[in-house]
Chains A and B, each alone.
Chain A
Amino acid sequence: AQTVTQSQPEMSVQEAETVTLSCTYDTSENNYYLFWYKQPPSRQMILVIRQEAYKQQNATENRFSVNFQKAAKSFSLKISDSQLGDTAMYFCAFMKGGTASKLTFGTGTRLQVTL
């Protein structure tokens, strides 16, 4: 079974600064995907970024980038130029390759962006 661990229950960052959220996972699979989801107070799950395990290059989406260390099974999210709208719960998630695979979520990190 896969496990996803987020060791930071809460983080705080000032507007315009950079913050990194940690995530580690455990799996014996070779074909898998990793995700970061954002859940604002509205509770809508919003996909922030995804990484295919077979790709060595770290994924980036505008101000969001990941540091994917496959051997270490680490998948951290870096948010640059933080904005007030980034305040939310962030969940790291794992999914095996395959058409009917489910997502396994970490426990989440609550990020507060302050003025």
Chain B
Amino acid sequence: GAVVSQHPSWVICKSGTSVKIECRSLDFQATTMFWYRQFPKQSLMLMATSNEGSKATYEQGVEKDKFLINHASLTLSTLTVTSAHPEDSSFYICSARDAGADSPLHFGNGTRLTVT
């Protein structure tokens, strides 16, 4: 079945630094990928929709300049948390979809970000 690979699975960084998270569709092409954020014991909240070759669409309340999304190819989207702060510590999950309206979403394994 379709596989979405997310890297790294966990990362620790210092305040003020930037962190890049990669999301790859391994055996299918994804024109659209989605980035979610999940706080402990809470649900997944959509941050942005990543569109190949164009700008990402951000959900209300998500800072575009803080969470940079790049979707330069049909198999790769990246999320960069810029100037990270402790409140950015969270679990970030990407998902992607095969072509076709009936295709299910496939999720990456997530990235646990800890900002010290």
Contacts and interface: CB of A to CB of B under 8 A. Distances in A.
Contacts, number: 50
A77 B1 CA distance: 24
A103 B110 contact: no
A103 B105 contact: yes
B101 A47 contact: no
Interface string B37-80: 01000111110010100000000000000000000000000000
Contact of A91 (B34, B44, B101): B44
B104 A47 contact: yes
Contact of A43 (B91, B101, B102): B91
Interface range, B side = 20 to 34
A102 B34 contact: yes
Nearest to B9: A43
B46 A103 contact: yes
A108 B49 contact: no
A115 interface: no
A56 interface: no
B31 interface: yes
26 contacts: A35-B104, A42-B109, A43-B38, A43-B91, A43-B93, A44-B107, A44-B110, A45-B44, A45-B107, A50-B104, A52-B102, A95-B105, A98-B101, A99-B31, A99-B100, A100-B32, A102-B34, A102-B49, A103-B34, A103-B44, A103-B95, A103-B105, A106-B43, A107-B42, A107-B43, A108-B43
